[in-house]
C-alpha cells in the first residue's frame, strides 16, 4: 500500500510534468507598452490621493500580467538619491514605485532614453540596483558601454527571446567605456549586438527611443535605422519618445511599431492621452500574431485603461490612417488585429 504522503508527492510530480509538456507546446505572449514617467505631477497626485503606488495600474494589471513577458519604457530614474541636472524637464520618482511596477507585472524595462539620467549618476546607479534586486530586467543602460549594450534574455516554451534597447535622442547620456549611461543608437554597434544575441536567441526585439515628439509619422532617420536593424537580424522593433502613437510598418515581413505613445505620463493635451499596447504572439519560434490594444489615459486623470467604444474606434481609425498597408500581402494584413 502506498503512503498517502508519497501519493501526494507523485501527484504533484505528474501534474508538474503535464504542465511542462503543455508549456513546451504553447504560445508565448509578449506585451509592450510605451512611456512610463512616475515623477512630477504623477508623484504629487499619488501622494495626494494616498491610494498607493499600484493605483496607476489598477485598470491595466490584468492586461499586463496576462502576458508571459511584459515590456515598457521607464522614462525616469527611481531613486532617493541625486539632484536634478538642471534640464528644463527633469524627472525622478520615489523608490516606492517599484511596488507598482511589480504589481502590474512588468518583466523588462528599457532605460535607454533622454530622462533616465535626469538626476545624475547616483540616481541612475540606484535605479539599476533596485531593478536588479527586484528581478526586473533592464536593457539599454549600464555602468559602462559594454553593460549598456547587453541584451536581456527570457526563455519560454523552448523559445529564447532577446531584448535590446537604444537611445537616439540624448547623446549627453551615452555610456562610454569609462562612464555609466545609456546605449547609443549607432547602427554599427547595433549590428554587432544583434549578431551576438542571434547566436543564443530565436526572437530578437529591439527598442528605440527616437523620432520627433508629437509627430505621428516616422522620420526618414527612423525608417532608415529600423530597416538596417531588421537587415541585421531583428524580428520586432518597438519605439517610443514621440508621446503619441506613430505609424506601424512592416519591412521584410517584420513589424516596426514606430511609437507606442504614452502609458503613464502627466501630459494631458491632444493625442498624448492616447497610447497603444501591442501583444506579440510567438508560436513555433515565429511571430504568429500581433494584437493592438488601444489605450486611453482617462482613469483618475492620468492613468491608463483599455479604450472602449467610440474612443477605441477613433484610435484604430487613426492608426489605419497614418499607416500605409496598401502594398502588403494578405498574410501580413491578417497578422495584425485590434482588440
For residue 176, how far is the Cα from the chain centroid?
24
| Mean pLDDT computed over 157-186 | 97
Choosing among 3.40.50.720, 2.40.50.180, 3.30.420.40, 3.60.21.10, the CATH entry for 28-338 is: 3.60.21.10
Residue 138, Cβ density class (10 Å: 0-12 exposed, 13-18 middle, ≥19 buried):
buried
Encode pLDDT of 253-269 as tens digits.
999 999 999 999 999 89
Asked whether 83 and 119 are in contact (CB, 8 A), the reply is yes
pLDDT averaged over the chain? 92
Name residue, grid cell 555609466.
Answer: 180
Residue closest to 211 by CA, chosen among 141, 259, 270: 259
What percent of the chain shows pLDDT beyond 70? 93
Q: How far apart are CA 91 and CA 40, in angstroms?
A: 6
| Mean pLDDT computed over 114-141 | 98
**Helix H or strand E encompassing 100:** helix 97-104
What percent of the chain shows pLDDT beyond 90? 86
The predicted structure's pLDDT at residue 8: 40
Asked whether 239 and 209 are in contact (CB, 8 A), the reply is yes
The predicted structure's pLDDT at residue 48: 82
For residue 157, pLDDT over 70 is answered with: yes
Q: How far apart are CA 152 and CA 110, in angstroms?
A: 10
The predicted structure's pLDDT at residue 272: 95
**Helix H or strand E encompassing 154:** strand 152-156
Amino acid at each position: 500500500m502506498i503512503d498517502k504522503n508519497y501519493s501526494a508527492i507523485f501527484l504533484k510530480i505528474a501534474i508538474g510534468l503535464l504542465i511542462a509538456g503543455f508549456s513546451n507546446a504553447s504560445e508565448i505572449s509578449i506585451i509592450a507598452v510605451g512611456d512610463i514617467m512616475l515623477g512630477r505631477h504623477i508623484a504629487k497626485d499619488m501622494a495626494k490621493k494616498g491610494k498607493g503606488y499600484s493605483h496607476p495600474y489598477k485598470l491595466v494589471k490584468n492586461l499586463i500580467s496576462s502576458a508571459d513577458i511584459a515590456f515598457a519604457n521607464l522614462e525616469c530614474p527611481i531613486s532617493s538619491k541625486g539632484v536634478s541636472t538642471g534640464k528644463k524637464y527633469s524627472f525622478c520618482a520615489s523608490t516606492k514605485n517599484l511596488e507598482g511596477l511589480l504589481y502590474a507585472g512588468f518583466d523588462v524595462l528599457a532605460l535607454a532614453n533622454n530622462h533616465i539620467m535626469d538626476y545624475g549618476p547616483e540616481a541612475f546607479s540606484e535605479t539599476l540596483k533596485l531593478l536588479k534586486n527586484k528581478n526586473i530586467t533592464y536593457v539599454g543602460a549600464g555602468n559602462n558601454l559594454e553593460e549598456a549594450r547587453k541584451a536581456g534574455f527570457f526563455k519560454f516554451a523552448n523559445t529564447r527571446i532577446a531584448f535590446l534597447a537604444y537611445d537616439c535622442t540624448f547623446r549627453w547620456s551615452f555610456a562610454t567605456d569609462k562612464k555609466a549611461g545609456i546605449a547609443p543608437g549607432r547602427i554599427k554597434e547595433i549590428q554587432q549586438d544583434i549578431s551576438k544575441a542571434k547566436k543564443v536567441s530565436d526572437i530578437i526585439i529591439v527598442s528605440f527611443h527616437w523620432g520627433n515628439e508629437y509627430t505621428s509619422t516616422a522620420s526618414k532617420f527612423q525608417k532608415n535605422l529600423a530597416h538596417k536593424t531588421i537587415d541585421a537580424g531583428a524580428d520586432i522593433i518597438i519605439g517610443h519618445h514621440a508621446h503619441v502613437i506613430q505609424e506601424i510598418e512592416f519591412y521584410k515581413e517584420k513589424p516596426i511599431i514606430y511609437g507606442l505613445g504614452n502609458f503613464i505620463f502627466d501630459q494631458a493635451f491632444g493625442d498624448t492621452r492616447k497610447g497603444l499596447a501591442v501583444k506579440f504572439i510567438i508560436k513555433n519560434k515565429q511571430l504568429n500574431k500581433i494584437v493592438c490594444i488601444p489605450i486611453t489615459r482617462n482613469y483618475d486623470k492620468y492613468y491608463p485603461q483599455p479604450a472602449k467604444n467610440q474612443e477605441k474606434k477613433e484610435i484604430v481609425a487613426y492608426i489605419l490612417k497614418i499607416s500605409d498597408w496598401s502594398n502588403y500581402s494578405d498574410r501580413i494584413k491578417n497578422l495584425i488585429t485590434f482588440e
